[in-house]
Amino acid sequence: GSHDLAETGHQRRQCAPGPHPAMSLALKPDEEKMFEGQPQGFPFGDFDLEDVMLPEGDDNFGFPSEEEEEEEEDAQTESGFANVLVVDGVPKVSQEKYQKLTSILTKILSGPGHIRENGLWHPVDEATGLSKGCVFVEYETPDQARAAQAALHGYALDKAHKFSATLYDEAERLAAVPDEYVAPEPRDAPPPENQWSWLSDRRGRDQFVARFGDETEIYWNDVAKQQPEDVYKRSTWTELFVLWTPRGSALATLHRQGVALWGGDSFGRLMRFSHQLVQRVAFSADERYAYTFSEVPPAGPRDPLRFLLIVWDVRSGRKLRVFEGPQAEFAVGAAARPDGGLAWDAFRWSGGAAPGAPSFLAHLKKGGVAVYESPDFGLVDRKSVKLDSVQSIEWSPAEPVLAAYQVEEGNMPARIMLMRFPKKEELRAKNLHSVAGVQLSWHPQGDFLAVAVEKWTKSHKSTNTHFELFSLRERDTPIDMLELPNKAEKIHELVWEPRGVRFAILHGDGSRLSVSIYSMRDGKLPGARGVAHLHTLVNKQASSLHWSPAGRFLVLAGTKQTQNGLMEFWDTEDMSLLSAGEHYMATEVQWDPTGRYLTTVVNAQNSTDNGYYIWSFAGQLLYKVERNRFYQFQWRPRPPTLLLAEKQKAILKNLKHYSKKYDEEDEAILMQADTEFLAAREKQMEEWREWQATKAEWAAEQAEAKKALLGDRLRDGDFTVQLAEVTVVLEVKEEAITMSRVVEIAIAFFFISHIPITIFVDSQAVFSGELYHAKIRETTEWYLRTYGDPLMTPPYKPWFLSLVYSEVFLQLPFFFVGAYAFLARRNWVRIPALMYASFVTATMLPIFFELWFHKAPGYKPAMVSAFYAPYLLFPLLIIARTAFSAYPFKQPALSDAWNNKQKWV
């Protein structure tokens, strides 16, 4: 085609627009709306069409593009001349015939489309008086112009005159082609930026992208500083959404004109795929290929809904294959939307290709599956796989193995089939009867495939569900069957543990669901295959399950409207609940690629509380970010690790060594952050005080004026509130401290004095006399002789002995503890001290009764009672000191600014 056009261009050199004298001539200052979107005051004084057509534009960021021509065309279309057609080969006529010819031309040219008012321009050469032999026609739409071009090119007006019609934009381009070929200067491409530099972050942090309002921002997740750290931000970066490539090397943005890829430290543009009104983009697992997808609006009311899908080579930006057509032709089985249209993800990339291995792209078709192979994306073996009434397909995430489900039809049973590409080798198939529906769930490493099979009961009124579990890493791909205890229960989700052999099922009816965890290892025979039930959690407010990408940790998320965003963090190793938290109205849950952190998001579905929380794997809330109109959060994926298995093992083994080092680093960073944070606050405070100082004089003037205006009505106290407040509080506090301190020391002294009395005096009632020094025995005897204490005089009463035993063996150890605790002001002593004191108070009751009613010669009741009195008074004092506050000694520390921030907000 281009050869043809070039010819026409050359023929009509004389008519070709350029710096166009005729055009400006024809325009009168008051009229001539030449094209849609014509700027005010157009044409400008001495305008150069070059400037209009080729706006300062997108260079290709150093990527020489195959489609430069095409893009140029696009650019010109935007100039507004797309609806103008240049028709050459018109007879050159004199003044007399001019009117006649013009009306004939109008008739012919308005055949294929509507000419705009004053849209036909038939220029005259002023020097010769003859018409120039060409016409410019402005149609109402570019489409009409294109249709006219097709219809009129080659139209024979008479024998001598044959029209050659060219779109104005095209003519312009052709006219600009120089007559001599000039070899383009070779351009030096700037060295591309390292797209993986973010992986070498010294602290091993992860990145994420957040989109809110018009902003798209990329951050480091800086947990040590408990806040995100900016990496890159840009306003109105995308028109639909953003998407990380599967290995995280680049970020894709979607625009009206197509998809752009951004990456490197500066987030410069790496590549773009031109696809008008693109709606979706999907990358192959190795990031080498991508497709862009859009629905094409129907041209007329009878026209079917069409789609356009373009497969690209990501590195070169080359178009590899185009799929287009009516959506209905491709909307087969699960690829059909309820409205009959095509689900955008009808085309599926195969998973995790090994380096150098081909990528596959599959889609359903009537009676089969079409699988295309890179790099040219032709059908594998040039034909599609024949599978009758195929309903859905899923690629293994790890290798080119396709699972397909064929629906039951007539006498043919339903069938689940696994096929390895490119050899089309059938790994395993399973036939099933009376199937109502099937859900395929692949293990993230492709080790297993779980198929939830919903079967009609005999009455055909309800369904039962069971699971067919395929083990792909074993010979002949064995299948295990699993039935839940209650087959009729609704199955909400089955999720495999990444890097593990377990899976979790969310099941149950109603709002409270159960979570069951199973293992693909036999419970009895170590290492053998089998399905073993591990645990069931019941009555959970959860609507989705989220395994950590590293396995082991499972989060139960209540992300439905009524579930308030409840999150439960479970360790499945010992089935312990690590923590439960809440992100009110959370709508999304995402693990970071390493399994260290979890994000919960409230997005713009909710009108308020938009933003995200970052949690540790154990459910500790690390920080919160609030952003209005929050649309999207996505962690930057990491490429598969390059470390060898042995190296990974070695790291695991020496984990203690590493963790110590990193803990120290984190500590240092936290300290630094704390200092910086406090310094920043100090600075703010300083600025505020400075500002206040500048206002002091004015404020004093105001105060003076107020005094003058109020006169004798003025009362004191307007400006001294703060000082008075502080003094009062401090005084009360100090007073309280001194009083209670005296009591504490007295109690401690009581405990200390009790120790020798118990050991040397009271214990004589229970141990034999020989144990004691003669001096001590003498003193005791003297005491008994002098005062006649009835209790300590043998023979001892049994109830009294029991009290002495408790004193020696139970209370004596506590005297040491109590003395220390009251001196050191320890809050933990409160409960033991209260127990001790109430016990002793109670024992004093029988003792005083005995002392009161005992009658004997030489017995002095008053003196003996006085000796015993302290053992009633001090316990009462202990009760008085400790009973009335949960923290009898001091409040828990609240001074640290950082902690307080966490506590209060």
Partner 1 sequence: MRPFILQGHSRPLNQVKYNREGDLLVTCGKDKTVNLWWTEDGQRAGTFNGHTGAVWTSDISYDSTRLITGGADSAVILWDMNTGEEQHHFRFQEPCRAVKFSVGEAFAAVSSDPFMQAVSAVRILPIAADPAEQGEEAVQTLRGPRGRIARVEWTDQNRTLITASEDGFVRRWDVETGKELAAEHVHEKNIQDLQMSVDGTHFITASVDCSSKLVDTQTLAVLKTYQSNVPVNSAALSPVYDHVILGGGQDASQVTTTSSRAGRFESRFFHKVFQEEFGNVRGHFGPINAVSFSPDGTGFASGGEEGYVRLHKFDADYFTTKFF
Residue span binding partner 1 (CB under 8 A) among the ranges 96-104, 141-149, 457-465, 704-712: 704-712
Of the two residues 644 and 886, which places its CB atom closer to partner 1 in the complex?
A: 886
- What is the smallest separation between the CB atom of 889 and partner 1, expressed in angstroms? 15
Residue span binding partner 1 (CB under 8 A) among the ranges 61-69, 396-404, 601-609, 829-837: 601-609
- What is the smallest separation between the CB atom of 682 and partner 1, expressed in angstroms? 10
CA distance 222 to 205: 7
Residue window 386-425: x/- pattern of binding to partner 1, with contact defined by CB under 8 A:
----------------------------------------
Tokens 């902690």 correspond to: 899
- Sheet with 425-432: list strands edge to edge: 390-395, 401-406, 414-420, 425-432
Of the two residues 181 and 887, which places its CB atom closer to partner 1 in the complex?
A: 887
Of the two residues 738 and 891, which places its CB atom closer to partner 1 in the complex?
A: 891
- What is the smallest separation between the CB atom of 866 and partner 1, expressed in angstroms? 41
- Which of 610, 634, 763, 843: binder of partner 1 (CB under 8 A)? 610
Burial class of 845 by CB neighbour count within 10 A (0 to 12, 13 to 18, 19+):
exposed
- What is the smallest separation between the CB atom of 893 and partner 1, expressed in angstroms? 10
CA distance 490 to 162: 74
Of the two residues 528 and 693, which places its CB atom closer to partner 1 in the complex?
A: 693
3-class SS at 137?
strand
End-to-end CA distance of the chain: 69
Residue span binding partner 1 (CB under 8 A) among the ranges 48-56, 476-484, 708-716, 832-840: 708-716
- What is the smallest separation between the CB atom of 732 and partner 1, expressed in angstroms? 9
**By CB under 8 A, residue 887 contacts partner 1:** no
| CA distances in angstroms from 376 to 178, 258, 269, 380, 759, listed in the order given | 36, 22, 26, 10, 97
**By CB under 8 A, residue 679 contacts partner 1:** no
CA distance 283 to 245: 7
CA distance 277 to 297: 10
- Which of 215, 609, 674, 850: binder of partner 1 (CB under 8 A)? 609
- Let me know: does 132 contact 92? Beta carbons within 8 Å: yes
Residues 797-856 that bind partner 1 (CB under 8 A): none
- Let me know: does 281 contact 254? Beta carbons within 8 Å: yes
- Which of 577, 651, 703, 835: binder of partner 1 (CB under 8 A)? 703
CA distance 709 to 346: 81
- Let me know: does 478 contact 499? Beta carbons within 8 Å: no
- Which of 2, 266, 608, 727: binder of partner 1 (CB under 8 A)? 608
- Which of 488, 577, 618, 685: binder of partner 1 (CB under 8 A)? 685
Residue span binding partner 1 (CB under 8 A) among the ranges 192-200, 253-261, 479-487, 714-722: 714-722
Of the two residues 742 and 894, which places its CB atom closer to partner 1 in the complex?
A: 894
Of the two residues 266 and 722, which places its CB atom closer to partner 1 in the complex?
A: 722
Of the two residues 607 and 738, which places its CB atom closer to partner 1 in the complex?
A: 607
Of the two residues 20 and 560, which places its CB atom closer to partner 1 in the complex?
A: 560
Of the two residues 278 and 625, which places its CB atom closer to partner 1 in the complex?
A: 625
- Which of 719, 852, 884, 887: binder of partner 1 (CB under 8 A)? 719
- Any idea how long the chain is? 905
- Which of 181, 853, 884, 904: binder of partner 1 (CB under 8 A)? 904
Residue span binding partner 1 (CB under 8 A) among the ranges 254-262, 267-275, 661-669, 722-730: 722-730
How many Cα neighbours within 13 Å face the side chain of 277?
A: 6
CA distance 731 to 715: 26
Binding-site size, partner 1 (CB under 8 A): 43
Residue span binding partner 1 (CB under 8 A) among the ranges 173-181, 271-279, 359-367, 686-694: 686-694
- Which of 95, 462, 648, 692: binder of partner 1 (CB under 8 A)? 692
Distance of CA 483 to the CA centre of its chain: 34
**By CB under 8 A, residue 576 contacts partner 1:** no
How many Cα neighbours within 13 Å face the side chain of 743?
A: 18
CA distance 343 to 360: 19
Choose among 469, 471, 497, 499: nearest CA to 484. Answer: 469
Burial class of 9 by CB neighbour count within 10 A (0 to 12, 13 to 18, 19+):
buried
**By CB under 8 A, residue 256 contacts partner 1:** no
- What is the smallest separation between the CB atom of 228 and partner 1, expressed in angstroms? 17
- Which of 688, 782, 805, 849: binder of partner 1 (CB under 8 A)? 688
- Which of 181, 698, 852, 887: binder of partner 1 (CB under 8 A)? 698
Choose among 439, 438, 434: nearest CA to 456. Answer: 434
- Which of 48, 68, 303, 725: binder of partner 1 (CB under 8 A)? 725
| DSSP sequence for 378-420 | EEGGGSPEE-TTEEEEEE-SSSSEEEEEEPPBTTBPEEEEEEE
**By CB under 8 A, residue 600 contacts partner 1:** no
CA distance 680 to 668: 18
Tokens 């110590």 correspond to: 660
**By CB under 8 A, residue 729 contacts partner 1:** yes
Contacts 24+ apart (CB under 8 A), 271-274: 271/63, 271/314, 271/315, 271/317, 272/317, 273/310, 273/312, 273/317, 274/67, 274/70, 274/71, 274/74
CA distance 832 to 879: 11
Residue window 615-644: x/- pattern of binding to partner 1, with contact defined by CB under 8 A:
-----------x-x----------------
- What is the smallest separation between the CB atom of 902 and partner 1, expressed in angstroms? 11
Task: Name the residues that contact partner 1, by CB under 8 A.
Answer: 584-585, 606-610, 626, 628, 681, 684-685, 688, 691-692, 695, 698-699, 701-703, 705-706, 709-711, 713, 715, 718-719, 721-722, 725, 729, 733, 891, 894-895, 897, 900-901, 904-905
